[in-house]
Amino acid sequence: MNDKKWIITGLVVFLIIVLFPFWYNRGKAVPPPEIKLTDKAKAAKECVLSKEYMKAEHMQILDLWREVVVREGQRIYTNPKGKSFVMSLSNTCLDCHSNKADFCDKCHNYASVRPYCWDCHIEPPKEKS
């Protein structure tokens, strides 16, 4: 039982290391991202499905679209309100949300998710400003 002091020191060092991030960031909350809508998106009022659904589940619908377009060759999506869309990330989603940096990237960066869509799919050309 002579190792007591080493064990205690070890534990303290361990705790300091583990808790350091919490201590370091205490009281600092990163403000949630504010996304900007393009005029076109504002004018459309509603996305393919409700805003709440799209906010939380857009990846599900993108996954469904990719599956049916590529593998089943079905390209038209008609939402419950009867409005039809061509299922295309670059040509439909980004037609309205042409401000990828202020829309997609804002939340993705905040949540630290890195979708690899853009390795192949083409972003709309940057608006000159």
Partner 1 sequence: MDTSRRRVLQLLGLSAAALSAPPVLDALAAGPPAAEPKIGTAKEALTAKQWAMVIDTRQFKKEDDVLPLIEACHKIHNVPKIDFKRWEIKWIWSTHFEHAFTGTTSTRFISEEIAHRPFLVLCNHCENPPCVRACPTKATFKRPSDGIVMMDFHRCIGCRFCMAACPFGARSFNYRDPRPFVKETNQLFPTRMKGVVEKCNFCNERLAEGKLPACVEASAGKLKFGDLFDEKSEVRELIKTNFTIRRKVNLGTEPAVYYIV
Q: Which residues bind partner 1 (CB under 8 A)?
A: 49-50, 53, 66, 68, 70-81, 86-87, 90-91, 116, 119-122, 124-125
To partner 1, the closest distance from the beta carbon of 54 in angstroms equals: 11
To partner 1, the closest distance from the beta carbon of 1 in angstroms equals: 42
Tell me whether residue 38 or residue 79 sits nearer to partner 1 (CB atom). 79
Q: Report the alpha-carbon distance of residue 70 to residue 33 in Å, rounded.
A: 33
Phi first, then psi: give them for residue 22, nearest 5 degrees: -65, -45
Tell me whether residue 4 or residue 81 sits nearer to partner 1 (CB atom). 81
* Residue pair 49/30 in contact by the 8 Å Cβ criterion: no
Helices (H) and strands (E) in the chain, counts: 5, 2
Residue 59: enclosing H or E segment and its boundaries? helix 51-72
To partner 1, the closest distance from the beta carbon of 64 in angstroms equals: 8
To partner 1, the closest distance from the beta carbon of 68 in angstroms equals: 6
